[in-house]
Structure 1
């Protein structure tokens, strides 16, 4: 689809300071300044006092937690320059006064501003924002801040919610209703400050994706109409419960680190196998392939070869730092270990095995190498040679190749980050030329999914009866690999992508499970993994 040429989208940013910007805010400004789709017309500085009273005890706790439990390195812009950037300082006056309204209205008109991005808890007067072609946009993390304290993600963490929601919305009427442009869910952790810092980085990616879409189409895309209520800082009793839980978690993490030093305490996964397909398998009927402390198995992939069913998986011993790829085969429901298929200096997992013509390939995850690799089988199943590479310098996790509509597609989980790399939140799609990976063309709206409960791949993709399925991880409740989704892909092209969840498997199909995060099937046999408590 050809996109009509437009002048750059003229963007103004509403910030509370000229020189005290957070890393995520500098990331937004830097990307706006670097891309020809945008013209960063002005940064409007408004040093308004917060209308929310923050309890002193919480303010102290939040500052300490941010200092000791987050790692926020300074962000150095490559394209944005404060020395050459236009700033319009509104001081600390009330923007709702007639004088301030007039100043802002004239400023928007003189600069021909299309849209304002709000990075402050309060925004432009409604009469000013309504006059803009695309209004005023904000990420919901900007709503829950005072002068120097941030409580975004505290409410979800304290209530032990499954996830924390981030909204990107266009400001609406005085009743609090807004037009939601995009929304995402993110896994909770024990430290709310750390969750918030990570989500803000993901918010940069979400915001820039939707701004690019707007700049290309000049059409406002609204997915829902919502009413947003103000969320206050935690009360004293809530803060007490939160601090107690945080202290307990930090103690548990210290014990876990000690056990790792002593070469024990690895996460333990078991495999479960049975008969069925992705649409109808019943995990309650599955037979367990139990782990041993010398070989814990996860990320299982099945492969049929010469009328026998083989299983490739990530394997490691308790306390082992880096996993390798092991292979075995089924004799009925009994698993026979055959050996190590691949071992490298880096951690290996997710051994996606597939066939193209007469060749058999494996695309394992080794994101530490900052390179996507495909290996070709020389002697099945234990001898492999490096065949092709792609995405140099990128950290790709849980990648899948598939043919659909006469084309090859690569689905992978990359991480757009400054401080917080996270492979669970962003799904990227590329059209490629097949296993050679000489041509890799990105989707126009990458990442096509930004959501920790949906994005990360959880096994090979399936096309059956004209329907396309993608297993994905449901990372929630603070647990990596808590559950498993079956997604049905409704649209797939370089210009569009949409999918919907048609089924969710949670770790209650057997006793003693903490999570389940991978599925594969071949020849009426399926396999999934589950994390043991």
Structure 2
């Protein structure tokens, strides 16, 4: 399967890089900018590659779809209960000091110089003479047309239709083009609530937009996808019948979440991950051959990594005992399909998971997930397998998760999932890449176009990178259907350097290889065997 392709680093026709990209921003409600709009303006102002040259105000289009009173009421109710989020406070400007100006037939920055592009942060747009003056056209978001003054209905369709993911893209209008072209696309796990679904994607859209702007400033060129269908009338808001379907779906979702909360309070964790093992290699194993790992005790086991040591195979894994909320790293010896628990390998004041264990220069290291500590940590084994000491740290202050380190063609690469967020912390949507000096982490150089992958279906690491036939592969999670860790991908990395990153999906593993599974989100292999973790359950909305 190679239908799913992700890439970072544009290679289209390039002109000499501009020293500063002159940007205009177009809004239609200057007195009521949303959090995501404020963040975009703030990010532009903090980056020396950009000049916020003009803030334009355009009236809302007359043909914009009008929300019914029922939709407006439902939207306000959900916004006040499920969609509340803290206000964003800009660091680099005051809203009262922004120089708003009305749109004219031609636009320019404050000094009269032409703009390079205009970002439309609403459904408004420029006329053709104004677009003709823009070197890189007018950029707008696909979700901007799903709104009126009383409601925003972008997030409803994905929940009503039970879509595995909700897609958004950035479109570009250019002079002389009959249709809009797509600049960038990303898809995100559909949330249980329409308002949260829309808000979450708008927050992620900030990251996607800023990556594309940085790429444009650095390279001086854009690579546009094939034109999208010609713009039609604004998408219609949901009908009364669709809202009734949505209300029923939301009620079921809320009830399920309430049950999970009660179970957690009673010490009965609903997410009871377990381990399966089988014979095979990560690039071509058959998950139908996997069998449950037999182990004593009722702890929850996830994120397994295999280690060969003195002729035996060991499993390091995230362990969570019933009633606990903070996991630790445990280790056991794998004998056949039985796990002989040896004890706790690592325990900290913060939650630990994803114990990525690797060897270098005859030593054994572990890089567990420590995002609650807001830094990356590497531990060195001093007495196998239960004694470890802190060896190095990096990415101080950042919320990184599921990090892996790999030596490929004499260069060390750090793959990590960092959450760039205001209201919705999420480690499933952004893959960041760094070149490092190895386990010491004294040299950490970010990729030019971080995050190199954006989208919940492909971004999050799902296990140890592995080499095969001279190529590097990355297991990744497939977060869809509203489920964390629904499935797995095997991604082939086609180009890897500090300028460009490109990968493609070779195969997908869904939780259908054994009856009664809802998710499988992690893979590792050693000594001719593979190990995965699975979550028993049922896909929401599936027949019972």
For 1:257 and 1:67, the matched residues in 2 are separated by: 21
- In 1, are the aligned partners of 2:465 and 2:473 still within 8 Å (CA)? yes
CA shift, 1:319, in A, is 2.8
Among 63, 83, 89, the residue aligned to 1:70: 83
User: Is the Cα–Cα contact under 8 Å of residues 293 and 317 in structure 1 kept in the other structure?
Assistant: no
In structure 2, relative to structure 1, the CA distance for the partners of 1:106 and 1:206 (3 Å cut) is closer
Q: How far apart are 1:64 and its partner, in Å?
A: 1.3
State the partner residue of 2:333.
Answer: 329
1:21-40, aligned counterparts within 5 Å? 21-40=33-52
After TM superposition, give the deviation of residue 82 of structure 1 in Å: 3.8
Match of 1:169 in 2: 171
Match of 1:215 in 2: 217
CA distance in 2, matches of 1:340, 1:175: 62
Residue 107 of structure 1 deviates from its aligned partner by 6.9
Report how far residue 156 of structure 1 moved. 1.2
User: Of the candidates 174, 198, 218, which is equivalent to residue 200 of structure 2?
Assistant: 198
CA distance in 1, matches of 2:108, 2:379: 61
The DSSP-based 3-state class of the residue aligned with 2:389 is strand
CA shift for structure 1 position 291: 6.6
Task: Output the CA distance in 1 between the equivalents of 2:294 and 2:48.
Answer: 55
Other-structure match for 1:296: 300
Q: Do the aligned residues in 2 keep the contact of 1:11 with 1:39 (CA within 8 Å)?
A: yes
CA distance in 1, matches of 2:161, 2:177: 27
Aligned partner (choices 100, 119, 124) of residue 117 of structure 1: 119
Give, in angstroms, the shift of residue 13 of structure 1: 0.6
Distance 1:259 1:287 in 2: 27
1:17 aligns with 29
1:178 corresponds in structure 2 to: 180
| 2:5 paired residue number | none
TM alignment of 1:246-265, pairs within 5 A: 246-265=250-269
- In structure 2, the CA distance between the partners of 1:283 and 1:356, relative to structure 1 (3 Å rule), is same
* 2:54–2:109 contact (8 Å) kept in structure 1: no
RMSD: 2.1
User: Within 2, Cα distance between the matches of 1:395 and 1:17?
Assistant: 33
Cα contact 2:368–2:377 (8 A) shared by 1: yes
1:132-163 per-residue CA deviation (whole Å, 9 max, x = no partner) reads: 11000012121211124111121111100110
CA change 1:299–1:37 in 2 (3 A) is: same
Cα pair 1:300 1:311 within 8 Å, conserved: yes
Deviations 1:107-149 (A, max 9, x none): 7993310100001113111332133110000121212111241
Q: Aligned pairs, how many? A: 522
Which residue of 37, 40, 65 corresponds with 1:52? 65
Q: Which moved more, 1:356-365 or 1:61-70?
A: 61-70
Q: Cα distance 1:3–1:128, how it changes in 2: closer, same or farther (>3 A)? A: closer
Q: Does 1:528 align with 2:540?
A: no
Could you tell me which residue of structure 2 aligns to residue 471 of structure 1? 475
CA spacing shift, 1:176–1:6, aligned 2, 3 Å: closer
Q: SS in structure 2 opposite 1:354?
A: strand
Q: Distance in 2 between matches of 1:139 and 1:405?
A: 39
- Secondary structure, aligned partner of 1:327: strand
Partners of 2:386 and 2:144 in 1: how far apart? 53
Partner SS for 2:206: helix
Task: Name the CA distance, whole Å, in 2 between partners of 1:12 and 1:44.
Answer: 7
SS at match of 2:228: strand
Mapped contact 2:60–2:123 kept (Cα < 8 A) = no
C-alpha displacement of 1:505 = 0.3
Report the alpha carbon displacement of residue 173 of structure 1 after superposing the two structures with TM: 8.6
Distance 1:290 1:170 in 2: 55
| SS of 1:170 mapped into structure 2 | strand
Contact persistence 2:317–2:353 (CA under 8 A): yes
| 2:388 equivalent to 1:384 | yes
Aligned with 1:224: secondary structure? coil
Conserved 8 A contact 1:293-1:318: no
Q: Secondary structure at the match of 2:180?
A: strand
Distance 1:478 1:157 in 2: 9
Shift of 1:233: 0.9
Aligned to 2:540: none
Give the alignment's TM-score, normalised by structure 2. 0.92
Q: CA 1:4–1:304 in 2, change beyond 3 Å: closer, same or farther?
A: farther
**TM-score normalized with structure 1 length:** 0.94
Q: How does 1:294-373 map to 2 (within 5 A)?
A: 294-373=298-377
Which residues of 2 match residues 411-422 of structure 1 at below 5 A?
A: 411-422=415-426
Equivalent-residue separation in structure 1 for 2:278 and 2:204 (angstroms): 38
Query: What corresponds to 2:542 in structure 1?
Result: none
Q: Distance in 1 between matches of 2:458 and 2:22?
A: 33
- C-alpha separation between the residues in 1 aligned to 2:513 and 2:295? 18
Alpha-carbon displacement from aligned partner over 1:175-199 (angstroms, at most 9, x marks no partner): 9832111100000111011011111
Q: CA deviation at 1:306?
A: 1.0
Conserved? CA contact 1:3–1:216, under 8 Å: no
**Counterpart among 406, 410, 434 of residue 430 in structure 1:** 434
Equivalent pair of 1:299/1:314 in contact (CA under 8 Å): yes
Quote the Cα distance in structure 2 between the aligned partners of 1:175 and 1:530. Answer: 49
Aligned equivalent of 1:89, options 74, 94, 102: 102
**Structure-2 change in CA distance of 1:378 and 1:49 (3 Å):** same
- C-alpha distance in structure 1 between counterparts of 2:267 and 2:297, whole Å: 11
Unpaired stretches in structure 2, ≥5 consecutive residues: 1-8, 538-544
2-structure distance, mates of 1:147, 1:529: 46
Structure with the bigger RCO (C-alpha within 8 Å, sep 6+) is 2
Q: Which runs of 5+ in 1 are unaligned?
A: 91-99
Q: Secondary structure at the match of 2:196?
A: helix
Question: 2:287 corresponds to which residue?
Answer: 283
Inter-partner Cα distance in structure 2 for 1:322 and 1:81: 40
Q: Is the 8 A contact 1:23 1:72 kept in 2?
A: no
